[in-house]
Structure 1
Amino acid sequence: MTKHVRWGILSTAQIAQDELLPAFRDATNAKVVAIASTNDKVKHIASKFDIPKIYGSYDELLEDSGIDAVYIPLPNSLHSQWVKRAAEKGKHILCEKPAVLNTREAEEVIETCKKNNVMFMEAFMYQFHPQHQRVKEILISGEIGEVNIMKVSLSFYLENQNENIRMRQELGGGSLYDVGCYCIHSIRNILNTEPNRIFASQQKDVKGQVDMSVVCFMELDNGMTAVFDAAMDRAQIDYYEIIGTKGSIRVPKAFIPQMYNGEAQIIVNTTDGAYREEKVLGHQYILEVEYFSQCVLNGEISRSMMEDTIENVKVIEACFKSIEKETFIDI
């Protein structure tokens, strides 16, 4: 019998229903054995995904010694609290992004996880799609020359705004936390560098509660520059582009290729007139679940993966500070 990690799910969040529970079901080394919620839908969800145990509270689930790891898709403002409580109960943790809202929370989360010898990963699922590794290979090959700039756009139109937690500041709402965190992470991840100076601006909703869109310019440690825009008040856009001295790479399905059954596309143009399209297939949520589950089974995870949460939220904080001060901010 294949060894697998026994998972518990905290809440019936839509992301869990739409993406993660199907991924757990299809993963080769993971099995969901419990779900916790006071929501009336929990029995239906447990039946649909063949989850044997239902708990009426998150604490009850965390007390279950038959659970190795938990997935936390709660509102952003609750992530830090429940990551620490899960860690204190000896559970490994996969937490939805953004796992924390500031650097202080990030440092507390990582310290608690290390102290209790549990693994923690922020669920930036996009990075597990093989298209991004292929992009890195093309960059290393020198095909597009010396890289000058990376541009990232990620947006969607938020329906039923009055009823959505993304519109509530106290729950960690807003476009920067919701989709801007992906833009920041992808720049850092793909270019393998850190921003050292940024300038950001925002547009708020009509009530002035949360940012509906954010635009940011970054100067990076390796001399490159990057620009991103993130929004939840416009048509869906989902891409990044990297431009070098000899050509460019465009990735038009960068973050949500599951909308195309996992098929992504890489477009390469070079200054000598060459053009090609590469198709890359992958199911990033399944790959994410299998990666973290294998880390649990092996008893090890890259420390850089844990520390990455701190580095990403530092940039988010700098964006908010730049917006407030209306000036460039050093990181």
Structure 2
Amino acid sequence: MALNWGILGGSAFALAQMAPAIHSAKGARLTALATSSSDKASAFQAYFPDLRIHRSYEELLEDSDIDAVYIPLPNTLHVEWTMKALQAGKHVLSEKPVAMKAAEIDALIVMRDRTGLLATEAFMIAHHPQWQRTRALIVDGAIGKLVHVQGLFSYNNADQPGNIRNTPETGGGAIPDIGVYTYGSTRFATGEEITTITHADLDYENGVDTLARVEARFETFSASWVNSMRMHPAQMMSFVGEAGVIRLSAPFNAGVFDEAQVELHHGDKVVTVERFPGVNHYVLQVEAFCRSVAEGKPFAWSLEDAQATQSLIDAVYAKAGAD
């Protein structure tokens, strides 16, 4: 039986990516949207004519036909509405970051465990085969002992001062928006946690970080990341070992920024390239969510994972403030 989904808020991202993903995913049925905007409701119904429209978030949560909700609201609202959805008996997939501070996730974990519902963060890249392959290559020793990880993710929205990513009231900033990917993917691929943030140099505009240069030590390797909302669009992740290098060409917006490819550099200038065309990690994420609810299958990214990444983010801000 398909899981009936509702979406809290008519965001542009939900319309462009997650609503189509829910609609296309096996085991899922896009059923309802909560928005007080007639224009946003019409935009969704143009693609999904049978979509039920609720004029408030509370009204959708009271809808007994809804089994699960997707929350694409501004960052500062994720904890509040994830908690309310769980209290209403709904499974929850919240956009990242699920919270603005790691400690805020404690209450969500307690409520998740109390209700027995699935609640997690929409860290879609964990479901992409390029990342599962990268993790397997590292574990299998394809590059020998891992020495250093380097990550970059950037775009430029300087011409959008009203964008929620550029306003502190909505939890904006380069780190909450895209640092979560460079930091979280490092943790996901290696299975390790930071021991210390050694350097954090942040540029701010209007109270939000727009450029973050960060260096860290993990248990057995070092890492350096750059994230910016004031640079030309770019993204890459590299895992450098004693015997080789793994490089991902489109680690975060696979199929949009570029084709997903995992390059393995090893031996005497030997390069092996694995390609993953046509993979939609948003659809895979929804399908994995539905399987977890219906069959109890493990889900690749838990609230505990989200909390560990948020702890890293908290440490970055603390280091930047200390410096």
Q: TM-score, normalised by structure 1?
A: 0.93
d(CA) in 1 for partners of 2:49 and 2:298?
29
Matched residue, 1:8: 6
1:201 aligns with 2:198: no
Matched residue, 2:285: 288
Shift of residue 260 of structure 1? Answer: 5.8
d(CA) in 1 for partners of 2:260 and 2:33?
32
State the Cα RMSD in Å.
Answer: 1.6
1:28 aligns with 2:23: no
My pick for the range that moved more, 113-122 or 23-32, is 113-122
Matched residue, 2:177: 178
Contact 1:30–1:289, Cα closer than 8 Å, also in 2:
yes
Matched residue, 1:329: none
- Write out per-residue CA displacement over residues 279-315 of structure 1, whole angstroms, 9 at most, x where no aligned residue: 1232101000100111111246559722112111111
- Write out per-residue CA displacement over residues 65-103 of structure 1, whole angstroms, 9 at most, x where no aligned residue: 111000000000000100000000010000000010002
Matching residue's letter, 1:57: S
d(CA) in 1 for partners of 2:51 and 2:13?
20
Extract structure 1 runs of 4+ deviating beyond 3 A: 299-304
SS of the equivalent of 1:132 reads helix
* Alignment gaps of 5+ in structure 1: 327-331
d(CA) in 1 for partners of 2:209 and 2:301?
30
SS of the equivalent of 2:262 reads strand
Contact 1:32–1:51, Cα closer than 8 Å, also in 2:
no
Matched residue, 1:100: 99
Contact 1:119–1:301, Cα closer than 8 Å, also in 2:
no
Contact 2:120–2:301, Cα closer than 8 Å, also in 1:
no
Shift of residue 30 of structure 1? Answer: 0.4
Change over 3 Å in CA distance of 1:216–1:68 after alignment to 2: same
Contact 2:93–2:122, Cα closer than 8 Å, also in 1:
yes
SS of the equivalent of 1:31 reads strand
Matched residue, 2:318: 321
Matched residue, 1:267: 263
Contact 1:151–1:227, Cα closer than 8 Å, also in 2:
yes
Shift of residue 268 of structure 1? Answer: 1.7
* Alignment gaps of 5+ in structure 2: none
Matching residue's letter, 1:312: T
- Write out per-residue CA displacement over residues 243-263 of structure 1, whole angstroms, 9 at most, x where no aligned residue: 1111111101000013168x4
d(CA) in 1 for partners of 2:123 and 2:117?
19
Shift of residue 113 of structure 1? Answer: 2.0
Shift of residue 267 of structure 1? Answer: 1.4
Change over 3 Å in CA distance of 1:260–1:152 after alignment to 2: closer
Shift of residue 28 of structure 1? Answer: 1.1
d(CA) in 2 for partners of 1:151 and 1:210?
23
Q: State the identity as a percent.
A: 31
- Write out per-residue CA displacement over residues 156-209 of structure 1, whole angstroms, 9 at most, x where no aligned residue: 11153222111111210010101001111001000111001013120112x4x1
Alignment map for 1:84-233 (pairs within 5 Å)? 84-198=83-197, 199-205=199-205, 207=206, 209-221=207-219, 223-233=220-230
d(CA) in 2 for partners of 1:86 and 1:183?
29
d(CA) in 2 for partners of 1:272 and 1:13?
49
Contact 1:76–1:97, Cα closer than 8 Å, also in 2:
yes
Alignment map for 1:44-83 (pairs within 5 Å)? 44-83=43-82
Contact 2:288–2:299, Cα closer than 8 Å, also in 1:
no
The number of residues matched between the two structures is 320
d(CA) in 1 for partners of 2:140 and 2:298?
28
Change over 3 Å in CA distance of 1:21–1:302 after alignment to 2: closer
d(CA) in 2 for partners of 1:212 and 1:303?
30
Q: TM-score, normalised by structure 2?
A: 0.95
Contact 1:90–1:117, Cα closer than 8 Å, also in 2:
no
